[in-house]
C-alpha cells in the first residue's frame, strides 16, 4: 500500500482533515481544523469539507467519518449534528460538492479501522471491541480484522438509560466523579458487553485513553484492555483508509 488519501473527521464541534500516507498510517501534512458550523446542516458541513479538501489542493477519493450510523451512504442517525442529516444520502451530497468519490462511515468505525490496521488491534485475532469515551460512547467491532459496522453500543439501554449517559467521559465531568467512581461505572458497562459478546480485547479510545493509568485499576473485567494508539488522528486515518477500501 503506497497511496495517499484524504481523511476527514466530522464532529459536533470541529471538522478536521489531512492527507494520510496509507503505508504508514501517518498524516503527510499538518491537519486543518475548522469549527463545525452552527447549525450543522448538510449544506453547511459540505461547505467546510470542501474548504478542507481545497486547502490541500487534493484530487482523489475522500473518506469522511461522521457521528452517525451510515448505511450505504445514507445517514440514519445524527449525534451532535443537525437532524437534517437523517435520511439524507450524505455520500451523494458530498460527491456532488467535491466532484470526487466519497466514502462515508461512522466515526468510531473509522477509528477502529485505523487501530486494526496500524494500532492496538493490528494482527489481533478474534473479536475486538473499540470504545471511544467522550461526549458519548462510540463503538467499533471487528472479527479477525473485519469490521461489523454501526454497532452503537453507547446507545444500549443500561440501568434505565443510554449507556453513554451513565459512563461517558462527559458524564464523569458533569457529575464530578472520581476516577474510582467513574472507572467502576465503565467496568459495569464492560462487564455487560462481556456477557453479550465475549470479546477477546477491549480498546479504550477517546481523550481518556491518554489517562488510562488513572482508572485502569478500577476496570475489573476478564477481557484484556489496552489504550488506543492513534489518538486524535484515528478518525482521519480510518476515513482515509475507507476511501481506498470502498
**Per-residue model confidence (pLDDT) at position 207:** 83
The answer, yes or no, to whether residue 1 has pLDDT greater than 90, is no
Note whether 12 and 80 are same-domain residues: yes
What 3-state class would DSSP assign to 172?
helix
- Same domain, yes or no, for 129 and 190? yes
Rounded to an integer, what distance in angstroms lies between the CA atom of residue 147 and that of residue 44?
A: 30
> What residues make up the domain containing 31?
4-109+233-245
Shared domain check, 94 and 37: yes
Residues 144-184 pLDDT 10s: 999 999 999 999 999 999 999 999 999 999 999 999 999 99
* Model pLDDT, residue 80: 83
Give the E-state strand segments of the chain in sequence order: 4-10, 14-21, 26-27, 32-35, 62-66, 70-71, 74-75, 102-106, 127-133, 137-143, 146-148, 157-158, 161-162, 201-205, 225-227
Residue 62 lies in a domain: yes
Residue 120's pLDDT band, with cuts at 50, 70 and 90, is very high
* Same domain flag for 36 and 89: yes
Asked whether residue 116 is domain-assigned, the answer is no
What pLDDT shows up at residue 68?
Answer: 95
C-alpha 219/C-alpha 239 separation (Å) is 30
Cell of 73: 451512504
pLDDT digits (tens, 9 = 90+) for 80-119: 899 999 999 999 999 999 999 999 999 999 999 999 999 9
Q: Which three cell numbers stand for residue 101?
A: 468519490
Residue whose entry in the numeric block shows the C-alpha cell 437534517:
84
pLDDT at 2: 54
Average pLDDT, the chain: 96
Residue 28 belongs to domain with CATH number:
3.30.420.40
Q: Do 29 and 91 fall into the same domain? A: yes
Residue 115 lies in a domain: no
How high is the pLDDT of residue 232? 82
111 touches 120 (CB < 8 A): no
Amino acid at each position: 500500500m503506497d497511496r495517499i488519501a484524504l481523511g476527514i473527521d466530522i464532529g459536533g464541534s470541529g471538522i478536521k482533515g489531512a492527507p494520510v500516507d496509507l503505508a504508514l498510517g501517518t498524516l503527510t501534512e499538518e491537519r486543518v481544523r475548522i469549527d463545525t458550523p452552527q447549525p450543522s446542516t448538510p449544506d453547511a458541513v459540505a461547505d467546510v469539507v470542501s474548504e478542507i479538501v481545497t486547502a490541500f489542493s487534493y484530487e482523489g477519493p475522500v473518506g469522511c467519518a461522521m457521528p452517525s450510523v451510515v448505511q450505504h451512504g445514507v445517514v440514519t442517525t445524527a449525534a451532535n449534528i443537525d437532524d437534517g442529516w437523517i435520511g439524507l444520502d450524505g455520500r451523494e451530497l458530498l460527491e456532488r460538492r467535491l466532484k470526487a468519490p466519497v466514502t462515508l462511515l461512522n466515526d468510531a468505525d473509522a477509528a477502529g479501522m485505523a487501530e486494526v490496521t496500524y494500532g492496538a488491534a493490528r494482527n489481533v485475532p478474534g473479536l475486538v471491541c473499540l470504545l471511544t469515551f467522550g461526549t458519548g460512547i462510540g463503538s467499533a467491532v471487528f472479527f479477525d480484522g473485519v469490521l461489523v459496522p454501526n454497532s452503537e453500543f453507547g446507545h444500549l439501554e443500561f440501568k434505565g438509560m443510554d449507556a453513554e449517559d451513565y459512563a461517558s467521559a462527559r458524564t464523569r465531568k458533569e457529575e464530578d466523579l472520581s476516577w474510582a467512581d467513574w472507572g467502576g461505572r465503565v467496568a459495569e458497562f464492560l462487564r455487560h458487553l462481556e456477557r453479550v459478546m465475549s470479546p477477546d480485547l477491549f480498546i479504550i479510545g477517546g481523550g481518556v485513553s491518554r489517562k488510562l493509568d488513572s482508572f485502569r485499576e478500577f476496570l475489573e473485567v476478564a477481557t484484556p484492555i489496552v489504550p488506543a494508539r492513534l489518538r486524535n488522528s484515528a478518525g482521519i486515518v480510518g476515513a482515509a483508509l475507507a476511501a481506498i477500501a470502498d
